[in-house]
Structure formats: structure tokens, C-alpha cells
Amino acid sequence: MQTQSMFGTKAEGLLLMQQRSRVSMFWKMIFIFATAIAILFLLLLLVSVIDSIFGYTVIRNEVDVPELVSGASSLDDLSRSQLEETARDNLSSGILRRVEYEKPIAEQSDRELRALIEQYIIKPSVLRSWGLWDSITKQDEIGAYMANQEDSYLIFKSWITPDFLTNDQSANPLNAGIRTALLGSLWIIAITFLLAFPIGVGSAIYLEEYADDTKLNRMLQLNIFNLSAVPSIIYGLLGLAVFVRAMEGVTSGAIFSAVADTTANGRTILSGGLTLGLLVLPIIIINTQEALKGVPDTLRMSSYGVGATKWQTIWSHVLPVSFDRILTGTILALSRALGETAPLVVIGASTFISVDPSSIFSKFTTLPIQIYQWSARPQGSYRNIAAAAIIVLLVLLLVLNSGAIYLRDILSKKKRMAA
């Protein structure tokens, strides 16, 4: 009887229940709403990028192919001898001299010759372009525009093409590609990994498995957390002072007598990779520590119980159990490095290079830098190729991240299968 009176009558209880489930439902709606907004913004981003890389484009050639070779409608129709002849006859003498000096026309492939002719003789330029949405909805306007145009033609262009991946940089957005930037990004990530993975995992093992709970170690831990939150541009300034300036002899390759042909002093791949390595080091340390914390102490104890040393315990039991999480943490940290722009701008990434990086002492540019450069230019077509480069960068990040998830799944499935 007493308990009944403490909780009120049955009717009151029912009423309260309804009220409680209403509140519960209200919060559920709030959370769904938050998720929906987040997804909406992500979709908007994707849509706006995709809108920029497809669409109708009006192009005007300075010289058309039929004017060069009568009877031919495009460069693909020309024979080898016609290509060589066209190039020799129409290139200005200065350019011809430079081309012959770098790589004689007779030695160039058909594809290279076509690119040469397009770049220096036909000289296509974009008069106007529409986004994907406008291309679909504003066909009347496009038609009216074309009616007033002469010497130009309309194509439906995809700015992201195989050529876009393999071409050099170029002053003409129609010919520009991201090969050097892509290679630069990959080189830099490799250096970042080589620096940050061993040092990061090593210090995490020390802090988590060996270090005593002293004031000094607690302070170290706190500072690692702080470092992981330091803005990336600060790392750029550090890299500029230490790697580019103070260690120029090393980072330019001078003391190894390995200075690249196109020397950039200390502003090399090595400097960029080391800077990004420092940037992700605290993240890798923290991720690895978390992975090691996930290993139950009973496993360590059972290893010590049969007379194992600390290292035998770590190597045979702790690392195999935590390896999948260490690896995922590292890959996620690297994908952050892949998207970094500010620190590389500060240490002096090149804005325009058409030479592939050939060693760690080469000049470099990376995808995010390239995107930044292109999107800062006034001409509209640069925005199109910036969008295309963004797609490439996003795909690269997606591959890295899903690779991390895939690896984690395989490794933990292996553990489960074994279990």
C-alpha cells in the first residue's frame, strides 16, 4: 500500500508515462534533425563541386584545324608527317628553337605533337561556360548566346578527364593537369609516414607501457594533447624556421651533393614531408595510445605470469592485439596530412611547376595547394579545374579512409575468426 501511494495513482502514472515518452520523442526528433542538416550540408558541397566540373562550354580556337591542313577536321585525322610538318611550319621560331632543344620534334610521340600543336598553334580558349544545372535548365539562353557567336563552337565538357590526371600544369586551363601536384602529394605523404609512424608508435609505446606516472610524464602527455590541437599554420612556421632555413643544407640535399636540377633551396619535398610529419605526430601518438589502452591488462599479466619480459609481452601480445587500431589511426592521421594546405604554403610550396618531382630534394606542389592556387584566379575556367582537382583529392581521401576501414575489418575479422 505504501509503495502505491509513493508513486501516485495509476491514472497519474499513465499520464506521466505519456508525458515522458513525448519528451523522449522530442529529443529523438532533435537528433534526427541535426543529422539531417549535417547530411544536407555535405550534399550541398558535393553538388556544388559536381556542378562546376560538367557543363556546356564555348570554345574559340585561334586557328582551326582545317585552316592548317585542308581536308582535316581534327588533329586526330593528321598523319605523322602532317603533324611534324604542321608543327614546323606554324610554330614561332622562338618556340620552335626551345622545343627542338628540349626534345626534337622528330622524337616526340604523336600524342605529344598533338598537345604541342594545340597549345601553341590552335590555342583554344574558353569564352564562356555554364554549370551542370544551368546547362540543363538554361538551354534557351545558351542557344541565344551561340546565335551571336562566330568562330566558336559549343561542347558539353567534363573537366575531369584522364588527360587532366596525367597532364602537366599549364597556363591554359584547357590543357592544365594535376600530375605534378598528385605526385607531389604522394611523395610528401610517404615522407610524412616514414617520419611520423615509427616515432609516433614508438613514443606511444613508451608513454603507455613503460613510463611511470610521474609529474614529468603527465606534463608530457598534456603537451601532446595540446600539440594535436595547435593550428597547422604554426607547424608551417616551425617548418619554415627549422627545416627550410636552419637545416637548409640537409633539406636541399646540399650536404649529400644531391641538389635537384631545379633547386628550391630548402623548399623541398623533404621539408614539406617533415613538417607534415610533425603535424600528425601527436595525432598518431594519441591514436596509438588509445589502441594500446584497449588491450586488457589481464593479457599483459598472463604474459608476465609465465616469465616474459616487458618487450616480449609488448611484441607478442600487446602489439598483435592492437595493430589494427594503430594502423587505422595512422591512416586517418595521414589523410589529414594529405589535405593540409596552410603549412605547405608557409614553407614555400611552388605555385607553378611542370617538372615531376624526382627525389626528396625536388621542388613540389600538392593537390590542396593546386586547388588553392586555381581557385584564387579570376578567370572562370580555373574554377572548373579547381573543382575537378577537388574531386580527385576527395576520391584520394575516400580511398585512404575506406582502405583504413577495410584493413581494420580484415584484421579484426582475422582476430575473430581465430577466436
Partner 1 sequence: MKVMQAAAEESFEFLGKSEAVENQEIITLEDVNIHYGSFHAVKNASLPIYEKQVTAFIGPSGCGKSTVLRSINRMNDMIRGATIDGKVLFHGHDLYAKDVDPVLIRRSIGMVFQKPNPFPKSIYENITWGAKINGFKGDYNELVETSLQKAALWDEVKDKLKENALRLSGGQQQRLCIARTLAVQPEVILMDEPASALDPIATGRIEELILELKKYYTIVIVTHNMGQASRVSDNTAFFMVDEGRTGYLEEYAPTEQLFLNPTHKKTEEYISGKFG
Site of interaction with partner 1 (CB under 8 A): 212-213, 296, 298-309, 312, 316-317, 320-321, 415, 418-419
- Cβ-contact 159, 151 below 8 angstroms: no
Q: Give the 3-state secondary structure of residue 378.
A: coil
The minimum distance between CB 301 and partner 1, in angstroms, equals 6
What is the rounded distance in angstroms from the CA atom of residue 128 to the CA atom of residue 145?
A: 10
Q: Kindly tell me which of 148 and 298 has the beta carbon lying closer to partner 1.
A: 298
The minimum distance between CB 219 and partner 1, in angstroms, equals 17
What is the rounded distance in angstroms from the CA atom of residue 4 to the CA atom of residue 390?
A: 65
Distance of CA 48 to the CA centre of its chain: 18
Return the C-alpha cell found at 152.
566558336
Residue carrying C-alpha cell 636552419 = 246
Q: Kindly tell me which of 211 and 233 has the beta carbon lying closer to partner 1.
A: 211
Q: Kindly tell me which of 11 and 418 has the beta carbon lying closer to partner 1.
A: 418
The minimum distance between CB 418 and partner 1, in angstroms, equals 4
Q: Kindly tell me which of 36 and 410 has the beta carbon lying closer to partner 1.
A: 410
The minimum distance between CB 330 and partner 1, in angstroms, equals 22
Q: Kindly tell me which of 171 and 306 has the beta carbon lying closer to partner 1.
A: 306
The minimum distance between CB 297 and partner 1, in angstroms, equals 8
What angle do helix axes 215-228 and 269-293 make, rounded to 10 degrees?
A: 120
Return the C-alpha cell found at 150.
562566330
Q: Kindly tell me which of 150 and 212 has the beta carbon lying closer to partner 1.
A: 212
H or E segment and range at residue 359: none
- Cβ-contact 124, 61 below 8 angstroms: yes
- Cβ-contact 59, 155 below 8 angstroms: yes
Q: Kindly tell me which of 303 and 384 has the beta carbon lying closer to partner 1.
A: 303
- Cβ-contact 375, 382 below 8 angstroms: yes
The minimum distance between CB 319 and partner 1, in angstroms, equals 12
The minimum distance between CB 217 and partner 1, in angstroms, equals 11
Q: Which of 131, 188, 184, 228 is nearest to 334 (CA)?
A: 188
The minimum distance between CB 331 and partner 1, in angstroms, equals 23
Distance between terminal CA atoms of the chain?
53
Residue carrying C-alpha cell 614531408 = 273
The total number of residues written for the chain in this structure: 419
Q: Kindly tell me which of 10 and 416 has the beta carbon lying closer to partner 1.
A: 416
